[in-house]
Structure 1
Amino acid sequence: MKIKYTLIIALVAILLILVGCNNQSPTGEVILDMDTSVSVRLPIPVVEAGQTPFYVADDNRYYTDEGLDVQFNLGSSETNPVKMVASEADDFGVLGGPDTLLVARSKGQPLVAIAVIHRNSDFPVILTLKDSGLTELEDLENKKIGFFYGHISTDVLHSLLNKYDITHEEVDVGMDYSQLIAKKIDAEWAFRVTAGLNLPEQGIEINTISPADYGINTHGYTIFTTEEMIEKNPEIVKKFLRATIKGIAATLENPEEAIDILAEKDEKVNSDLEYKRLLMYNEVTSNSEEYPIGYMDYEMFKETYDRLVKEGVITEEFDVNDAFTSEFLEEIY
């Protein structure tokens, strides 16, 4: 038995030496093959359909195949993606749109978008009750409208109302739709993929007034990192983005399986509702020869930037080209 154990130990030692010979630095130091740990800050504090592609990429081991060990962290008002990535608490972040990144950039944060998942998403909208008769933008003249001050939607909807000189009264309602339902206000902001879906699911019939119908385009989930990350770790950025793109593609190809993966992340997930939500996300996910997954360009960012400058949200102007880079998308494709 002693001889047997000695032989086993000797074989293990030889194996380690052989592995070490194939994994050495120029100085002869043995390099261990280990996954690189990265963390991602998601935009909201709950598990929701918009996050599905990231969890699909993780579940299908696309990140592992790239040598990455990825941790996903939910965002909140205190741990928002801009704050957490700018402070280097997280390596990558996801925002509801490029608007927030551009505002952060104007305040000196060295953040750079590396992909936009939803082009022309038209997520921020105005909702009214079905029986209100308020179906067009001009119907909101002198009406009371609920906003979520500080939210990405407010700047978009202010642009819409100001563009057409719609006089109105404002109320800060946050994410509470009880005043709209009780008819204490006439209209309220919403994301099409959240309240725009949730309210009808609760039996509340609504009208939707969309900025896109009035010439204001908005875009959805934006993946970003820091200038330093891009400069010092470009391979990690490319690997993360490549794996994420595979996750998006898999989600588009099989949304039913994707929702099953999402549901495993939180027992509170309503699979039927999140499946409907996912289909809404998928409808506006770039995925064509002209606009491949992750596509973004100067016009998308410049149009958003100009709107924010006009509304006075951005007061310190800068070169829009510095706010995004397509270099990794170009290398991947």
Structure 2
Amino acid sequence: MLSRRHFTAALALATGLSVSGLALPALAQTDIKLTLDWRFEGPAAGFLLAQDNGYFADEGLNVTIDVGNGSVEAIPRVATGAYQLGFGDINSLIKFLDEDPSQPVKAVMMVYDKPVFSVVGRRSLGITEDPKSLEGKKLGAPPPDGAFAQWPAFKEVAGIDDSAITLESIGFPVREPMLASGDVDGVFGFAFSVILNLKANGVPEDDIVPLLFADHGLNLYGNAIMVNEAFAEENPEAVKGFLRALAKGFADAVADPGAGAAAVLARNEILDINTETERLEMANEMNIKTPYVVENGFGGIDEARLAASIETLKISMGLQGNVTAADIFDAQFLPPAEERMLP
């Protein structure tokens, strides 16, 4: 039989009250819908491990993770409130807010400190490590792709004459098969996705030439976590808890890429564990665990660098100058830097 004290404690636990001044955890969880930029593949492991390892639940969050259809499309999903949080291209967000600064969406955590935007071509089709080798070629361009969104900026800083370049609008499902068959000479995309998908389509590794925009003068940021501002205003602790959990998930994905890939395959069984482990390792090395992140922690930004990237986009993407770095990125929800260090 329960003692009177134990009965009171049990009743308090069930009703969310406190015993002897000790606050007990609330039973209700905050529901959050998150949209990714793309399918469940290796680089999504940080999100999935945060869920599988209970980090979201520990923060009182019930998180639903949905796939996306390109790093640009995540932005309106969050701005409209269809999703409370999303993962998408911060440069496209800058363009989006420059066109309408009243849109209620901001970036709150940087994931790809170095953007993964690239044109990937084939050496046998005349593409080399020199961006000027793209001149006169046919390039496949999925319209919602974040890399393609940065083509105006890249061709300017790389000094590419695009007068003889043919841009062919293609869908994501046929992107790598078209390059593998030689129907196009190169394609826009995220390097870690295109390279491994080409290998899966039978293209020899030494025939694959990735031209990363960041390696050829385009010093931009990449994909970030974005939040609906109305949701953040009403639920600031939930946003803080989400980012705290996510930092742990990405740390786990860096520490054990194999476990991260296994979490991906639990949602997408048709994938290959070795391919997704390699894809995650590439993303960790190229885009996530950069020298800046090693020194300063995962998730933050250098405001001066973000401001400089906005100036670059003013020239190359025709921004009107309606936004500043402070309008784009809000760091107030980030955990302390010591809680965001990657192993």
TM-score range, shorter chain: 0.7 to 0.9
Conserved? CA contact 1:38–1:90, under 8 Å:
yes
1:244 corresponds in structure 2 to 246
Write the letter of the residue equivalent to 1:105.
L
Task: Quote how far apart the aligned CAs of 1:37 are.
Answer: 1.9
The corresponding residue for 1:103 is 95
Answering whether residue 192 of structure 2 is matched by residue 196 of structure 1, we say no
Instruction: Describe how 1:153-232 pairs up with structure 2 within 5 A.
Output: 153-163=147-157, 164-167=159-162, 168-175=165-172, 176-177=174-175, 178-204=177-203, 205-232=207-234
TM-score, normalising length from structure 1?
A: 0.84
Give a deviation string over 1:75-105, Cα, whole Å, max 9, x none: 247x94222322222221111x211221222
**Post-superposition offset of 1:289:** 4.7
Q: Which residue of 1 aligns with 2:50?
A: 57
CA contact (8 A) 1:104 1:111 kept: no
- The 3 A distance-change label for structure 1 pair 286 and 234 is farther
For the Cα contact (< 8 Å) 2:113–2:221, is it kept in 1?
Answer: yes
Shift of 1:304: 3.3
Q: Which moved more, 1:98-107 or 1:303-312?
A: 303-312
1:1-333 equivalence runs, <5 A: 14=8, 16-19=10-13, 23=17, 33-44=27-38, 46-76=39-69, 80-95=73-88, 97-106=89-98, 107=100, 108-121=102-115, 123-135=116-128, 136-163=130-157, 164-167=159-162, 168-175=165-172, 176-177=174-175, 178-204=177-203, 205-283=207-285, 284-286=287-289, 288-315=293-320, 317-329=322-334, 331=336, 333=338
| Cα pair 2:30 2:60 within 8 Å, conserved | yes
Larger mean CA deviation between 273-282 and 128-137 belongs to 128-137
**Amino acid corresponding to residue 247 of structure 1 in structure 2:** G
Aligned 8 A contact 1:98 1:301 in 2:
no
Offset of residue 222 of structure 1: 0.7
SS state at 1:280 partner? helix
- Counterparts in 2 of 1:48 and 1:229: CA distance versus 1, 3 Å: same
Per the TM alignment, residue 214 of structure 1 is displaced from its structure 2 partner at its CA by 1.9
Q: CA deviation at 1:249?
A: 0.7
Quote the sequence identity (%). 23
| Distance in 2 separating the partners of 1:110 and 1:50 | 27
Q: Distance in 2 between matches of 1:52 and 1:188?
A: 25
Kindly provide the CA deviation profile for residues 90-148 of structure 1, in whole angstroms up to 9, marking residues without a partner as x: 221111x2112212222232211111112113x12122222233211222223332222
Write out per-residue CA displacement over residues 224-255 of structure 1, whole angstroms, 9 at most, x where no aligned residue. 10222333322111111001101111111111
TM-score, normalization by structure 2? 0.82
Q: Partners in 1 of 2:127 and 2:303 — Cα distance?
A: 36
| Aligned residue number for residue 3 of structure 1 | none
Contact 2:48 2:264 in 1 (8 A): yes
Distance 2:73 2:210 in 1: 28
Classify 1:32/1:280 alpha carbon distance in 2 versus 1 (closer, same or farther; 3 Å). Answer: closer
Unaligned runs of 5+ in 2: 19-23, 339-343
Q: Which amino acid is the alignment partner of residue 114 of structure 2?
A: N
Structure 1: runs of 5+ lacking an equivalent? 1-6, 25-29
Against the structure 1 CA distance between its residues 243 and 184, is the aligned structure 2 distance closer, same or farther, given a 3 Å change threshold?
A: closer
What is the rounded CA distance, in whole Å, between the counterparts of 2:138 and 2:178 in structure 1?
11
Offset at 1:169?
2.7
For residues 15 and 267 of structure 2, what CA distance do their matches in structure 1 show?
Answer: 41
Cα distance in 1 for partners of 2:316, 2:310 equals: 10
For 1:98, give the aligned amino acid: I
Q: Which amino acid letter does the alignment assign opposite residue 59 of structure 2?
A: E
Q: Does the 8 Å contact 1:98/1:304 carry over to 2?
A: no
Displacement after TM superposition at 1:185 (Å)? 3.3
CA distance in 2, matches of 1:150, 1:33: 40
Distance 1:137 1:21 in 2: 64
